[in-house]
Structures are given as structure tokens and as C-alpha cells.
Structure 1
Amino acid sequence: MIRCHETREEQDHQISSSQALHQCIATLVGQTSSYISSLTLVGKRLYTGSNDGVVRLWNASTLETLAEASSSGDVITGERGDGGAVKSLVILADKLFTAHQDQKIRVWKINSVVEEEEAGNKKYMHLATMPTISDRLAKCLKPKHQVEIRRHKKVLWVNHVDAVSGLALSRDGTLLYSVSWDRTLKIWRTTDFKCQESITNAHDDAINAVELSESGDIYTGSSDRKIKVWRKNIDEEKDRKKKKKKKHSLIATLAGHNSGINALALSSYNILLLYSGGSDGSMLVWKRDDESEDIAVSGVLRGHTESVLCLAVVSDILCSGSADKTVRLWKISATDYSCLAMLEGHRGPVKCLTGAIHDSGKESEASYHVYSGGLDSQVKVWQILVPTL
């Protein structure tokens, strides 16, 4: 069900000199009361994951289409999902990867590509569950493939042993990175879904977020209050001759948060910036020095009164969602970290965010669509207008 909102409401108080106008143009409500745990927007298709394991596809082609639609979205995983909460969603060509509470990653094939008005007729097929049975069988015969997770308890290193909290794809699409509350970072091939590497005890506590930069560096954020930066070893041939097993190495550890880190986001708009959101409601802005390549805190964003649960970058706008039930919009700049607007309307914590640029047809303003999913079981669609200077 989609509820349409007609009115445009200007921000009650000016937050920055270039104030953003915003309105909630639609609210997407599924057939169940399950909360929204993940979102991803690919082209004109919006995918939502919920805590009952169900993934739905919504047509996000135009505002008019959203307002006129009457269905509850195209259910991909079946009316009753599998695997518990969908913690993360990523798309690679005709494949959808979903991370679940039950320690598994599932792969779905999008069988056909059709026009957006026919999206409701699309067919989906479950391709695999990672780790695959063949991957587990191939490794279960040798004791060296088992790792101790606690006293007198061993498992295959390809298995996550706690919720898979985040997914990210390499830039060329050949590798999938997964992080988990079990403190591991795993690397998978996207061609045959085999686990290539597992970094055990990558952090001292649950890993909650993973992001990849344009250069291929991997950033992981954890409840241990640290961000770690990993890099794929370039000279793999030399490593093979030396019989090195690790294909990725830790290159930096970033400490600056006073609480656990729940979310990460990267911006490459004019300058590479890393954003991290903490349980104390604060967000840190990290910048890499061009000469030394050291990464240091260059700013702090404050405004949320409770934990920051999600972050998303849309062009030159940073969006943050919080347990305080609000979404805040921030201007991305090397020197300006001002808050453009605060979006209110959710009746529960905001768990996930995504968005895209939307052409308003006016040179005097930049237009964006932001999608926010919350524990109130709703996805809100916001139109954001920012005056151009």
C-alpha cells in the first residue's frame, strides 16, 4: 500500500544558510507489520528487506507512479521470508545478494529485464545460499579448514557464526565482502559463490558496517569503536610463491569514536571523505591526507539525540538516520558540515537509507529523492530541494 502526501512543508527553523525544502511525497507500507531493515535503490527499482526475511521490489520510476500504485510491492522471497531479518542488500547485474540474521547470504537471480511498467511481472529464482553446500563439503574433510570459535567448539572457516550485518561489492563486481557480528570479514567470489578468504577477529567486537572506496580499499566499522581499513594485496603471484594465504591486509586502524560504530558512508564528491555514525548520536568526518595518506578526523556532526543507525551519500548530500526517529541532511564539503534539514515523520527508529538525484527541471535548485526505512514498518519517500548558489 502506498499513501500519498500532498503538502509541502518548509523546515520550521533555519538550520543553515542554504536551507533545504522538503516534503514526504509517499509512504510505502507492506502487508505485514515487520520493520524495514535494509534498502537499496538500483536505477528505477527500490528493494526493501524486512525483519521477517521478505524482500520486496517497488517501482520507483516516477513520483506519479509511486503515488498511483496500489500494490504492496513485488515480493521476491515469497510471502514468508527465509533466514530472519534481511540486514543488507546489494545488486550485481542480474543477481541480488541478501545478508541475513541466520548467518547466511542468499543469492537471487533476476530472470528477465523488462520495462518498469511491467516490473510486477518479473520472475525471481533462488540461486544459492552462501556458503554453498559444495564449498562446505570440499573443506569439511580437512581439519585445517576448521577454526575455534569458543572452547571445544569448531566450525568451518567459510561459515559465519552470527548475523551477517553488511555486504559490499568490489568495483569490478568479482568479489563480495561480508561482515558479521562474529567479528569476521569474509571475501567471496561472485561467479561461483565460493569463499576465498576469511579474516578472523578482524575486530574486537561485532562488525556493523562495511564500505568500499573507489580505489578498492575496504572500510569496516565495529562496536569496538574502531574503523579498520583493508587493502587487497597487489602482488598476488609473489604471495602465492611465498605460500601466503592472506589476499587482504590491514593498512590502518582509525580510533576517534567514544561509542560503538553502527554505520559508514563514503563520498567521492570533489574530495574523498569517510563518514561514521556512533551509538552516542555523533558522526565523524574523516579525510585522507594526500601526501602521507594518513586518515584523520576533520569534523564532527552533531544533532541527533540518540544512536546514528544508518548513513547514505546522495551526490553532495549526506543523509543520517537515527534511533531518535529523524533523518538529517548534511552538506558535503571539505570545510562546511552544516545541517540542511531535519526530516520528521517516522514513528520509530530510522534503520536504513538510500537515495538518488532527481531532475526538477530548474537550474536554481538541486532535487533529490531520499528513501528511509524504519522500525515503524514504513518506507518514506522524501523530495528534497536545495537552492544552488
Structure 2
Amino acid sequence: MSLCLPSSTEDDAASVGTLPSLPSLQSVVPIYNYPDSVRCSASHLCLSSIKALTSSSSAAALAVSATSSFLYSASESEITVFDLVSARPVETFAGVPSAGFVKSVALSPDGRLFTAHQDGRIRAWRRSVRSGRHRLDATLPTVADRLRRLPLPGNYVAVRRHKKRLWVEHADAVSAVAFREGLLYSVSWDKTLKVWRGGSDFRCLESVPAHEDAANAVAVAGDGTVYTGSADGRIRAWTRSLVEEGRRRRHRLVATLERHRSAVNALALSGDGAVLYSGACDRSILVWEREESAGHMAVAGALRGHRKAILCLACVDDVLFSGSSDRTVRIWRREGEGKGYACLGVIQGHVAGVRSLVAVRVDSGKEDKDDEYRVCSGSLDGEVRIWRVRISATKESGPDVKNTKTN
């Protein structure tokens, strides 16, 4: 099993103990409180709750359209599109029940939807111009992609002792997908990272043996750097460059980030790609920042507060949302120009662990200066909730106090 899922009891020991050797981020650097300093707080309201239809339903995989107008919620039996402003469904279409649970969802800028499935395949969906409804466009790897590789023995890789598969095929569940600059990236419990052409033919361009255990998460920065997180506790960074022949681009390993001591379940990047967040079964969210002297990135500290495993992360601007097996969503924000973070609020309401999470900033249409977000969370019992989150800034007067570094 590649995720630290909640046990049947309420024992907090369901997660691996937190990282005692790594200080909480608030204690990494001094924190200054100036007179009339600005402090932020968050409030939330549940706008919609969609219950699971059956007791066997799994957590829905979630994604938000490029225009931030629609939420896509995908389960093993159906895919539902919600209007984020009204929090109401606008379309529901049948999924692929025989493919098993949907593990992840990604959207391309042109509106194509990609769903990652337990059967090791990826489905591409496109909205019909004529009917206005979504239909299945392709299943990856495509039949054409497999047929062109069948005759050559070199196209097969060993997946078990006496079993081989084409290298374009995932040998286990596809755990996460991400889309960037015309390319679709997928990671799987088969320990590989695959790169697909996101255009018309969906051809598999590359397969990378990425980890020693199941790969659980993938995130792609604006500069093309790909980050993968695994049950082996490692995060690896990959960049795409020309191979020696100079004719094809391949991904090569540029860094391995090791500070978690348990499975890495989730990754999220800041908008500029300078900060990477990783969530794991050790109950900690690690904050990684660019540091060339460290080779690529160095850990700046840990965000703590969840009582069980971190299962999902979503980052918008300077706000980070985290979902956990403890059934809560926490709201974190970076404080000013320094490296300090504050937990602004805890969202409660789910009765099972929060497995998927997406968030977007919205225009509230009001003249106040509050920042408003739509946060969508999916729990392990199949429930999806849409929340309105508002972050308010208030001024506090007081003496000039300097809190020095703590151990």
C-alpha cells in the first residue's frame, strides 16, 4: 500500500511519528512583531456537500479548470462538473467502472480532462462542441502506440519475475498525473514516471525508473522541472535535456531530496516554483526552497499541526492548504518577506480522511480587501465539499517585540 490511510480506530498512532530532528518552520528564523503589525485570520463556510452514492465509493479525484470556473470530481462510476461560483453541478457523465478507482485528475489549457485509473491506464476526455457534453477521447497508451512497438523485443520490460510488458504501459495503478506545456506526466505504483505527448496522438515519449518504491505524487514547475514523491520517502527532481545524440529530449535526475522518514503522499509548488511543499505519513509538511549550494533545494523547516498522515496539498499564491487522515484541512500562509508561516485556520466537517484537495482564488465582487478562495476537498468516504474561505488582515497595536530563534 502506498499511502498511510487512517486506521479503523481513532488512534493517532495511525501515522508515523513526526520528525523530531527537524524544527518547526516558525523556529527556524527570528519572527518580528512591529507596532501596528498586520495579522491574518481565516474564516470558512461550506457551500455544498455531495454525499457518496454507495458505501463502496472511494475518494473522488478533483481538478479545477484553467479559467477557475469549474470543478471536476471524478470517481470510479461517474465524473461531475460543478460551477465553482454557485457550487452546483452543471454536468454529470459516466466514467469507466471497470477501470477501478480514479486516483488523480489533470486538465490541459484547452479543456481536455485526463483521469488516472487503478487499472494502470489514463483516460482522456473532451467536451463535444456540438452537444456540449464530455466524451471519452482516448485511452493511454493508445492502441496505435502499443501496436507500433509490439514486434520489437527491446520494447518490453520485466515487471515481475516471469512477466514482461511494453514500456509504454504502466504495470500498476496510476497514482498521479500533471499537465504542463503540452506534456502529460504520470507516476505509478510501478515506480515509474512516464511522459506523454498531450496533443492529438497521445504518444508515450519516455518512461523513467524513478523510485525504489511506489511513486505517489508528481508536480511540474514553470521551468519544466518535474518533482516526484514516493513511498520510499524520497523526492526526486528531473529536468528535460537533449541526449548525447542531440535528437531527442530525455529527463535526467538532478537532485534527490531526503528528509521525510516515511511515504511521501503529496507535492505542491508555489506559483514561481521557488518553493516546494511535501506532505508525508510522518504528519509533517516540509518546505523546500531553492539553494544552489545544496545542489538544488534545501529544506527550510516543517509545518506541523495535523495529527495524522498528510494526504494532499494545494497551493494558491502564498496560501497553502493541506488535507490529512485526521479529517481536517489546514490553512497556512507565509508571513511577509521572511520564512515564517502561520496556520490561519482549521476546516472541519469531513467524517473520513481528506484525500484530495484543490483551491482557487476568486473575485468576491466586494470592495473589502479580504482574499477569497474556493477550496474543494474530497474525503475517503466519497464525499466532496466545496468551501468558501476568506482571509482577513487586521492591524494590532502593541509594543515592539522580537522573538529570537528557539531550539
How far did 1:384 drift? 1.4
State the distance in 2 between where 1:187 and 1:77 align.
27
- Tell me if 1:343 matches 2:347: yes
* Equivalent residue in structure 2 for 1:38, among 21, 38, 61: 61
Q: 1:315-363 CA distances to partner (integer Å, 9 max, x unpaired)?
A: 2210000010000010035512211100000000001011111223233
How far did 1:292 drift? 6.3
Residue aligned with 2:245, SS:
helix
Residue aligned with 1:239, SS:
coil
How far did 1:364 drift? 3.1
How far did 1:276 drift? 0.3
* Equivalent residue in structure 2 for 1:248, among 247, 251, 259: 251
Amino acid at match of 1:354: V
Contact map agreement 2:186 2:218 (CA 8 A) in 1:
yes
Query: 2:204: which partner in 1?
Result: 195
Query: 1:81: which partner in 2?
Result: 97
Moved more, 286-295 or 334-343: 286-295
Q: 1:276-298 CA distances to partner (integer Å, 9 max, x unpaired)?
A: 00112111000012576531100
Amino acid at match of 2:60: S
State the distance in 2 between where 1:110 and 1:35 align.
25
Residue aligned with 1:178, SS:
strand
* Equivalent residue in structure 2 for 1:100, among 112, 117, 134: 117
Query: 2:311: which partner in 1?
Result: 309
Amino acid at match of 2:158: E
State the distance in 2 between where 1:337 and 1:239 align.
46
* Equivalent residue in structure 2 for 1:320, among 319, 322, 332: 322
How far did 1:98 drift? 0.7
- 5 Å matches for 1:207-226? 207-226=215-234
* Equivalent residue in structure 1 for 2:240, among 207, 225, 232: 232
- Tell me if 1:59 matches 2:83: yes
* Equivalent residue in structure 2 for 1:368, among 366, 369, 373: 373
Query: 2:178: which partner in 1?
Result: 168
TM-score (norm 2): 0.81
State the distance in 1 between where 2:303 and 2:225 align.
24
- Tell me if 1:356 matches 2:360: yes
Query: 1:29: which partner in 2?
Result: 51
Residue aligned with 1:136, SS:
helix
TM-score (norm 1): 0.85
Which consecutive unaligned segments of at least 5 residues does structure 1 have?
A: 1-15, 114-120
How far did 1:30 drift? 5.2
Residue aligned with 1:76, SS:
strand
How far did 1:149 drift? 1.4
Change (3 A) 1:358 1:246: closer
RMSD in angstroms over aligned alpha carbons? Answer: 2.2
State the distance in 1 between where 2:270 and 2:374 align.
17
How far did 1:379 drift? 1.3
- 5 Å matches for 1:256-275? 256-268=259-271, 272-275=274-277
Contact map agreement 1:353 1:371 (CA 8 A) in 2:
yes
Amino acid at match of 2:360: A
Change (3 A) 1:256 1:291: closer
State the distance in 1 between where 2:227 and 2:220 align.
6
Query: 1:4: which partner in 2?
Result: none
How far did 1:54 drift? 2.3
State the distance in 2 between where 1:332 and 1:385 align.
16
How far did 1:31 drift? 4.0
State the distance in 1 between where 2:123 and 2:296 align.
36
Amino acid at match of 1:219: Y
Which one scores higher on RCO, CA 8 angstroms, separation ≥ 6?
2
Amino acid at match of 2:170: H
Change (3 A) 1:384 1:282: same
Query: 1:381: which partner in 2?
Result: 386
State the distance in 2 between where 1:19 and 1:81 align.
42
Contact map agreement 2:356 2:378 (CA 8 A) in 1:
yes
Which consecutive unaligned segments of at least 5 residues does structure 2 have?
A: 1-37, 395-407
State the distance in 1 between where 2:362 and 2:197 align.
34
Residue aligned with 1:268, SS:
coil
State the distance in 1 between where 2:300 and 2:202 align.
39
Q: 1:118-138 CA distances to partner (integer Å, 9 max, x unpaired)?
A: xxx731221111111111111
State the distance in 1 between where 2:383 and 2:327 align.
12
Moved more, 295-304 or 89-98: 89-98
